[in-house]
Amino acid sequence: MSTPPRQKRLTPTDITALKGVRPAVCLTAYTTPMTRLFDPHCDLLLVGDSLGMVLYGMETTVGVTVEMMIAHGQAVMRGASHACVIVDLPFGSYQESKEQAFRTAARIMKETGCDGVKLEGGEEMAETVAFLVSRGVPVFGHVGLMPQQVNTAGGYRSKGHSDAEAEKIRRDARAIDQAGAFAIVIEGTVEPLAREITGTIAAATIGIGASPACDGQVLVSDDMLGLFNDFKPRFVKHFADLAGVISKAAEDYAGEVRARSFPGPEHTFQVRPKK
C-alpha cells in the first residue's frame, strides 16, 4: 500500500501570487510546538529576530546572532508542513557587503531548510537584494520602521509623517521591489502611505502597523496571544489573554504544591503487587 504524498508547503512565489486575491496570513514563530499550532492557519511563518526580545529578554533585536536564527529556524521547520517559512538575517550579518549577505543567507537556508530570508533596508540594500535573488535566494524585504536601525532612528516611532520621510519610504519600497523581493514588510508607517505603496509595487506587502489594504498582515505571535500585557503597541490586537491564563495556572499549581494536594495518588507510581 503506497503512502500518500507529503503536503507541499507554500513557496515565496505562492505568497506573491496571493496579491490581489486574498490577504496573506503571517505570524512569527520560534519553536516547534507553537509552529504546529500556527501552521494550519498561516500562509507564511516568519522566524523573526524579534525572538531576541520575545524569548531572550533583549531590549532590541541588535544582539541576535546568526546561530540563534539557525537554531530557531530549525525548530520551526520541524513543525511546518503547510506555511512558507522565512528566517530573518540578523543585524550585522548582511549589511557589510552583498557577498557577506549571500554567505549568511546560504548558510541559513542550508542549515534550516527554510524557503528564504528577510532583511531590512531600502535603496541602500537594493543591490544586495538583487544579488541574492539572482543567486537563488528568495528575499522578503522590510521598509518603514526598521527595528535593526532603532539606534540611529531615535527609537520606535511611526514613519511617513513628513513629506520627505514619506518619499524616502516610497523610494525604499520601489527599490526593493524592483530588485526582486517577493514580498515586503511595511512596518509602523502611516496608513495612506502604506495603502499607496501596496497599489504601486509588484511585491506582496505585509503590514504591521501599516494598512488593512496591505496584501497581508503579520504580528509577533506572543503579542497576538496576549503574553505581554505590560506594553501594547497601537497596532497590536490581543486575540487571547494567555498571560492571565498562564499566571493563574502557575498560581494554582503553587497553591496545590504548598498544600500537598498535588501530586495526588493518581499522579504517583505505586508498587505493583507481586505475582
Q: Which residue numbers belong to the known binding site for Mg(2+)?
A: 49, 88, 120
Q: Which residue numbers belong to the known binding site?
A: 49-50, 88, 118, 120
Catalytic positions, please? 187
CA torsion, ordered 197, 203, 207, 211, to nearest 10 deg: 30
Chain centroid, CA 6 distance in Å: 25
Q: Which residue numbers belong to the known binding site for 3-methyl-2-oxobutanoate?
A: 49-50, 88, 118
Burial 206-235 (b: 16+ CB within 10 A, else e): bbbbbbebbbbbbbbbbbbbbbbeeeeeee
For 208, phi then psi, to 5°, come to: -145, 110
SS3 content of the chain, % helix, strand, coil (to 5): 40, 15, 45
Cβ contacts of residue 267 below 8 Å, gap of 6+?
A: none
DSSP reduced 3-state for 94: coil
